[in-house]
Amino acid sequence: MKRRLLTQATALVLALGATSATLAQEVTLRLISGFAENGIYVQRLQPWINKVNAEGKGVLQINFIGGPRAIPSFELGNAVKTGVVDMALNTGAFYTNVMPEADFLKLTQIPVAEQRKNGAFDAINKVWNEKGNMQYLARMVENQPFHIYTNKKVDKPDLAGQKIRITPVYRDFFQSLNASVITTPPGEVYTALERGVVDGYGWPIGGIFDFNWHEKTKFRIDPGFYDAEVSLIMNLPAYKKLNDTQRNYLQKQLLALEAENTFWARYGADEIARQTKAGIQTITFDAATSKAFRDKAYDIGWAGAAKQSPEVAARFKALFSK
Ligand code: 173
Ligand code: 173
């Protein structure tokens, strides 16, 4: 009898021990967005985070801290690099201060699913690991070309006399079109337009309504160029600290997130219609000029990349191009 009690007590202790060991397997990752919380990117991420947390009890949780008010857009990359935050929703243009290569991802011409197959994704991660102390986790925006939005009409691809708001995405290309450029985070675009500090801005095809920029926008120049890159990145030591169960769970959810990227083509078409309805006029060129415009964007983009990081640019160009 006495022995049996002891055995039961031992079993109870072991069971409790096992329970707390299981609980200790749950990791919570802090995530900050470089884009504002009321914008489409965070709107798309929120339900994913909810799903990760609902299905990941006891394994992995994501704690969404907030947007650029928590950490300014252009400082977020360094916060991931140093481990101040575990994860970020961000674009490479916002963390060229970590590594110039960050901005090269705008030059991909193949879907992320294909990047995972042809070695591009691994090549990105080699650079992100070594230079950024980061893991490149997933691309959640695709099929969102950038455009020039302006209040000054042009009849050819020439921005002479125009002040255009940029990030590193557009700098070399817009300067080659004779624009004078001003770098700001998205959060300062409205005020810059309102005060006439800029005549226009670079932005993808979708999202200008989220912050009422359409109120201050007369023209969109077609065609678009490059592909807006918005991705999840993670501090490398934090990523390496995940156990197999956690890493496999995260990976499964990241692939599920990327599988939702078919949304963006539809969204782009809807946004074009919405811009037209809002009175934004489209500036177009003849076919030859349009092709030359797009080709020039890529030529200038890759030339800038080659200047900043020749070996990586050559490696990426072979893997990113159609
Ligand atoms: O920071 C922003 O202003 C921002 O993130 C955003 C996102 C989508 C559309 C417009 C702005
Ligand atoms: O224009 C920008 O702020 C910018 O660089 C960007 C990048 C990806 C998606 C949206 C905007």
**Probe residue for ligand 2, chosen from 105, 146, 220 as the CB with the greatest number of ligand atoms within 8 Å:** 146
Share of residues in the chain with pLDDT > 90 (%):
93
- How many A from CA of 67 to the centre of ligand 1? 10
Predicted confidence (pLDDT) per residue in 185-217, tens digit: 999 999 999 999 999 999 999 999 999 999 999
Ligand nearest to the CA of 174: 2
Instruction: Report which bound ligand comes closest to the CA of 204.
Output: 2
Probe target for ligand 2 pocket from 74, 106, 107, 169, with the most ligand atoms within 8 Å of CB: 169
Tens digits of per-residue pLDDT, 159-180? 999 999 999 999 999 999 999 9
- How many Å lie between the centroid of ligand 2 and the Cα of residue 249? 29
Q: Output the ligand 2 site: residues, CB below 6 A.
A: 91, 93, 167, 169, 186, 202-204, 228-230
Q: What are phi and psi of 56, to 5 degrees?
A: -105, 20
Ligand 1 residue neighbourhood (C-beta within 6 Å): 35-36, 39-41, 68, 186-187, 207, 210-211
Q: Which residues, listed in sequence order, are joined to residue 175 by a DSSP beta bridge?
A: none
Q: What angle do CA 96, 102, 107 make, to 5 degrees?
A: 125
* DSSP code, position 212: T
- Where does the pLDDT of residue 1 fall: very low under 50, low under 70, confident under 90, or very high at 90 and above? very low
- How much distance in Å is there from the Cα of 214 to the middle of ligand 1? 13
| Per-residue tokens: 163 | 């002040």
Measured between alpha carbons, how far is 297 from 291 in angstroms, rounded to an integer?
A: 10
For the residues of 53-79, what is the DSSP string, one character each?
Answer: HHHTTTTEEEEEEESTTTS-GGGHHHH
Amino acid (1-letter code) at residue 41: Y
Peptide bond into 68 cis (omega under 30): no
Mutate-to-test residue for ligand 2 from 45, 95, 203, 264, highest number of ligand atoms within 8 A of CB? 203
Residue 102 Cα, ligand 2 centroid: separation in angstroms? 12
* Confidence (pTM): 0.91
Q: Which helix (H) or strand (E) holds 105?
A: none
- Give the H/E segment covering residue 33: strand 27-33
pLDDT tens digits, 37-70: 999 999 999 999 999 999 999 999 999 999 999 9
Closest C-alpha to ligand 2, atom 1: 203
Indicate which atom in ligand 2 lies nearest the CA of residue 207.
10
Atom 7 of ligand 1 has which residue's CA nearest to it? 39
What pLDDT is attached to residue 183?
A: 98
Task: Give the CATH architecture of domain 26-142+228-265.
Answer: 3-Layer(aba) Sandwich (3.40)
pLDDT, average across residues 76-100: 98
Q: Is 146-227+267-320 a CATH 3.40.640.10 domain?
A: no
Q: Ligand 2 centroid to 91 CA: how many Å?
A: 7
Beta strand pairing call for 230-235 and 87-90: antiparallel
pLDDT in tens, 227-244: 999 999 999 999 999 999
Contact 135, 147 (CB under 8 A): no
Query: What letter does residue 260 receive in the DSSP assignment?
Result: G
**Closest to 29 in 3D by CA, of 229, 247, 244, 231:** 247
Mean pLDDT of 145-149: 99
In this structure, the residue with its CA closest to atom 10 of ligand 1 is 207
Counting ligands in written order, the one closest to the CA of 189 is: 1
Nearest residue (CA) to ligand 2, atom 3? 186
Range(s) for CATH 3.40.190.170 in the chain? 26-142+228-265, 146-227+267-320
Res. 22: pLDDT tops 70: no
- In angstroms, what is the span from residue 106 Cα to ligand 1's centroid? 17
Three-class DSSP labels, 133-180: CEEEEEEEECCCCEEEEECCCCCCCCCCCCEEEECCCCHHHHHHCCCE
Q: What is the pLDDT of residue 54?
A: 98
Contact 111, 261 (CB under 8 A): yes
